């Protein structure tokens, strides 16, 4: 797998990149914000996710002293000087390459839907204002996530897709410059991108989702694996709140993009599960998620969908699942049929 | 002046740009933050500056109802819905093109100097941490400035030079992509850039100052005029706190870049003033400022250095000074000798 990735990197001629990327992590909006309260971060989850990311990045060093990298003034915390001085002589840790992409959750959603940013029309004052308001909301979330990661010693760098020059045409990606992301990685940083309001050549503007950003980054940078951190254990055959909802443990994707559930073994019921999944998917939920994931898996990249801030997410982030899936691991693996 | 600018725009072949730029505004760190208190914004000044910017952008419409564009949750303010609904049918105002660039003031300075980010050396853990900490601090200031402008109805868009792909080599600009800035302007937004920590091809990293960013934007986008908002009335012949310090009202720049004070008329004392200015400039202060401004004025762009949040700054921002300088205007004009 590693060798294959490295070969593919050399073939990506338009991207300046030396280090292979290990993992792209999606922090789902539902996992890191409180969905029902406007602009409220789920601090506890975010802290655990940040801690797990550090553990996964710097393997075997969970006990190593680390340098917090958010030196900003914070309420209730007076002294940031002493910890800085401790690290004057500390050599750099060699954290392997991760990219973080986060959703919006309860940030940006109200602003975008109130003004219809996703439908375009920047000549209308309300849409233009909504575009500004949406970017303010999602960039404030981005800043808080960058700070949470930095406090755990992760050298995180906020990078807005809008500023990086990403734009769309009819909502499809028209321009997606990943060169700055690659340069930041090469310099040892962890780029933190997010779903964003962007310019659209045809509509004027629209919303670019975190999932579409991940698909683009995956295609261009070929990470070893991708982890989607969500607020449920994984992908189910029906809404997980329903009785008898069954966790789909492994989905195999063919070269042509078609996919089917291989674990739990369902044999003749396969087709029925697919239909059920599609049927309950009125809000771009699981069917969209599986389809997006299947497109990534087609590239030979493992996709893990797992509940954030659990032992299962730590194992996924650490790359434990690259071979066989342990029986006691709960989550959904989507990968190329072997 | 306008005609000349438009001709020059057409000559800038590598930048996609339709609208001519009216003004680039530098919000000096000293004017918008409290210099002696770490990470504290001068809220009163920032509010006045934002108001004046709106007045300057939308000429003759100071009484027009405007739509605040920061719809984020704020302490003590409960309802953001009603004002949004008021503007559902409002047509877009045609604000002329402005770019805002701000300094860091009491943001970023501690983080950068504590770790030596400007000297480079990303292989040292302290420098890497300082880079992350500096970017957190300056982007949090950027977000607050974008929000303050948006609350006054200015369609402001935060754009970090790092994310836009700006980088240096030996501290000189190596790459400065202004295409996204131009696209944002063309879509009717006001880009808000800032002094930033950036990658340096030779040193690893360094600090890119707001003044250098302005010089680059001026050369590429050719605005009609540039306003530096500071915490003193303008450029003096000696530190303004000294008795008898004299405000230099107009400085004329020759095609070769040499400059001299033309107002107040000093005749035989000209040379002495220049030397005095240079002599007290130990911290990259006024001499640097005049030299930077002279490089811009050489391009045929008027530069006004003026105290923020005064009637003088409003007149400068509004473009009142393009012809003769009124006697009752206080500030420093630096422009091509006529």
Q: Within chain A, what is the greatest distance between any pair of CA atoms?
A: 64
Whole-angstrom distance, CA of residue A108 vs CA of residue A197: 9
- Residue A61 CA: distances (Å) to CA of A51, A316, B128, B211, B222: 12, 17, 19, 42, 52
- Is the pLDDT reported for residue A8 higher than 60? no
Statement to judge: residues A266 and A315 lie in one domain: yes
Which residues between 158 and 177 in chain B have a beta carbon less than 8 angstroms from any beta carbon of chain A?
A: 158-160, 162-165, 167, 177
Q: Across the interface, do B136 and A146 touch by the CB < 8 Å criterion?
A: yes
Buried b (16+ CB within 10 A) or exposed e, A276-310: bbeebbeeeebbebbebbbbbbbbbbbbbbbbbbb
- Residue A118 and residue A108: Cα distance in Å, rounded? 12
Same structural domain, B157 and B43 = yes
Same domain assignment for residues A21 and A101:
yes
Distance CA A108, CA A113 (A): 8
Of A49-53, B71-75, B260-264, the range with the lowest mean pLDDT is B71-75
Within a domain: residue B152? yes
Buried b (16+ CB within 10 A) or exposed e, B16-29: ebeebbbbbbbbbb
Reported confidence tier of residue A74, pLDDT bands at 50, 70, 90: confident
**Does A251 share its domain with A161?**
no
Query: A126-159 pLDDT, tens per residue?
Result: 999 999 999 999 999 999 999 999 999 999 999 9
Q: Do B218 and B249 sit in the same domain of this protein?
A: no
pLDDT at B58: 79
Distance CA B164, CA A162 (A): 9
Is the confidence at residue B8, as pLDDT, over 50?
A: no
Query: Cβ of B98 under 8 Å from any chain A Cβ?
Result: no
The answer to whether residue A99 is domain-embedded is yes
Q: Check whether residue B239 and residue B217 sit in a common domain.
A: no
pLDDT classification of B2: cutoffs 50, 70, 90? very low
Per the CB < 8 Å rule, is A155 touching B187? Answer: no
- Cβ separation of A125 and B90 shorter than 8 Å? yes
The alpha carbon torsion through A261, A262, A268, A273 (nearest 10 deg) reads -20
What average pLDDT does this structure show over B303-323? 95
Contact list, B163 vs chain A (CB under 8 Å):
158-160, 163-164, 180
Range of the domain at A50: 1-10+17-57+93-223
- Is the pLDDT at B101 greater than 50? The verdict is yes
| Statement to judge: residues B240 and B206 lie in one domain | no
ipTM for this model:
0.89
- B180, B242: one domain: no
Average pLDDT on A307-325 reads 94
Question: Same domain for A162 and A22?
Answer: yes
Q: Tell me, what's the pLDDT at A158?
A: 98
From B5's Cα to the closest Cα of chain A, the distance in A is 26
- Judged by average pLDDT, the poorest of A283-292, B106-115, B279-288 is B279-288
pLDDT at B279: 42
Across A163-185, average pLDDT: 95
How confident is residue B76, by pLDDT bands cut at 50, 70 and 90? low
Q: Is residue B72 part of a domain?
A: no
pLDDT more than 70, % of chain A: 80
* Interface with chain A: mutation pick from B133, B174, B188, highest number of A CBs within 10 Å: B133
Q: Is A109 annotated as a binding residue?
A: yes
CA distance, residue A157 to nearest chain B CA (Å): 6
Residue A2's pLDDT is 38
Question: Which of B136, B156, B183 lies at the smallest CB-CB distance from A70?
Answer: B136
DSSP label of B74: B
Cβ pairs A/B, distance under 8 A: 196
A245 domain residue, yes or no: yes
Question: Would you state the pLDDT for residue B16?
Answer: 53
Q: Tell me the pLDDT tens digit for each residue of A89-101.
A: 554 555 669 999 9
**B138: in domain:** yes
For B28-40, what is the mean pLDDT?
Answer: 92
Q: Do B56 and B174 reside in the same domain of the chain? A: yes
Taking chain A, what is the end-to-end CA distance rounded to the nearest angstrom? 13
- pLDDT over 50 at A277, yes or no: no
Name, in order, each residue with C-beta under 8 angstroms of B19's C-beta and a sequence gap of 6 or more. Answer: B96, B97, B185, B186
Query: Which of A11-25, A67-81, B36-50 has the lowest average pLDDT?
Result: A11-25
- Do A161 and A130 share a structural domain? yes
- Specify the 3-state DSSP secondary structure of B140: helix
Q: Does B84 touch chain A (CB under 8 A)?
A: yes
The last residue of one of the domains, among A223, A250, A273, is A223
CATH code of the domain containing A130: 3.40.1160.10
* Nearest-angstrom CA–CA distance, B133 and A70: 5
Give the model confidence (pLDDT) of B126-147 as tens digits. 999 999 999 999 999 999 999 9
Q: Is residue B38 part of a domain?
A: yes
3-state secondary structure chain A: CHHHHHHHHHHCCCCCCCCCCCEEEEECHHHHECCCCCCCECHHHHHHHHHHHHHHHCCCCCCCCCCCCCCCCECCECCCHHHHHHCCCCECCCCCCEEEEECCCCCCHHHHHHHCHHHCCCCEHHHHHHHHHHHHHHHHHHHHHHHHHHHCCCCEEECCCCCCCCEEECCEEEECCCHHHHHHHHCCCEEEEECEEEEECCCEEEEECHHHHHHHHHHHHCCCEEEEEECCCCEECCCCCCCCCCEECEEEECCCCCEEEEECCCHHHHHHHHHHHHHCCCCCCHHHHHHHHHHHHCCCCEEEEEECCCHHHHHHHCCCCCCCCCCCCCCEEEEECC
Is B168 a member of any domain?
Answer: yes
For residue B172, pLDDT beyond 60: yes
Contact A159 B163 (CB under 8 A): yes
Angle at A265 between CA A264 and CA A267, to 5 degrees: 145
Q: Is B64 on the interface with A (CB under 8 A)?
A: no
Q: Looking at the predicted structure, is the pLDDT value of residue A60 above 70?
A: no
- Among A223, A241, A274, the domain-final residue is A223
| Count: domains in chain B | 2
- Verify that B219 and B269 share a domain, yes or no: no
* Last-in-domain residue among A189, A223, A257: A223
Which residue in this structure is represented by tokens 């338009």? A14
Residue B68 with chain A: CB contacts under 8 Å: 129
How much is the pLDDT for B282?
Answer: 39
Instruction: Give the pLDDT mean for B39-52.
Output: 96
Residue B85 lies in a domain: no
């Amino acid at each position: 797998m590693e060798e294959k990735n490295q070969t593919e990197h050399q073939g990506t001629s338009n991207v300046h990149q030396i280090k292979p990327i290990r993992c792209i992590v999606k922090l789902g909006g539902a996992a890191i914000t409180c969905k029902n309260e406007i602009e409220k971060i789920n601090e506890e989850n975010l802290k655990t996710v940040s801690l797990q990311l550090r553990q996964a990045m710097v393997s075997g060093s969970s006990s190593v002293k680390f340098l917090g990298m958010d030196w900003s003034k914070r309420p209730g915390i007076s002294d940031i000087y002493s910890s800085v001085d401790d690290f004057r002589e500390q050599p750099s840790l060699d954290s392997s390459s991760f990219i973080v992409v986060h959703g919006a959750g309860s940030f940006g959603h109200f602003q975008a839907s109130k003004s219809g940013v996703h439908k375009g029309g920047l000549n209308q004052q309300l849409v233009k204002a909504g575009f500004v308001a949406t970017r303010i909301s999602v960039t404030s979330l981005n800043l808080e996530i960058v700070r949470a990661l930095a406090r755990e010693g992760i050298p995180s760098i906020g990078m807005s897709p809008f500023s990086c020059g990403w734009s769309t045409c009819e909502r499809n990606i028209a321009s997606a410059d990943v060169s700055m992301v690659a340069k930041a990685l090469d310099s040892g940083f962890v780029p933190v991108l997010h779903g964003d309001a962007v310019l659209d050549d045809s509509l004027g503007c629209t919303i670019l989702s975190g999932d579409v950003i991940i698909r683009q980054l995956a295609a261009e940078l070929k990470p070893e694996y991708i982890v989607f951190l969500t607020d449920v254990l994984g992908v189910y055959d029906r809404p997980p709140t329903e009785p008898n909802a069954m966790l789909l443990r492994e989905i195999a994707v063919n070269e042509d993009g078609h996919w089917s559930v291989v674990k739990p073994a369902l044999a003749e019921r396969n087709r029925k599960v697919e239909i059920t999944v599609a049927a309950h998917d009125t809000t771009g939920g699981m069917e969209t998620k599986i389809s997006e994931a299947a497109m990534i898996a087609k590239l030979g990249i493992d996709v893990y969908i797992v509940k954030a801030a659990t032992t299962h997410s730590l194992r996924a982030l650490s790359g434990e699942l690259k071979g066989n899936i342990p029986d006691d691991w709960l989550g959904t693996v989507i990968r190329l049929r072997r």
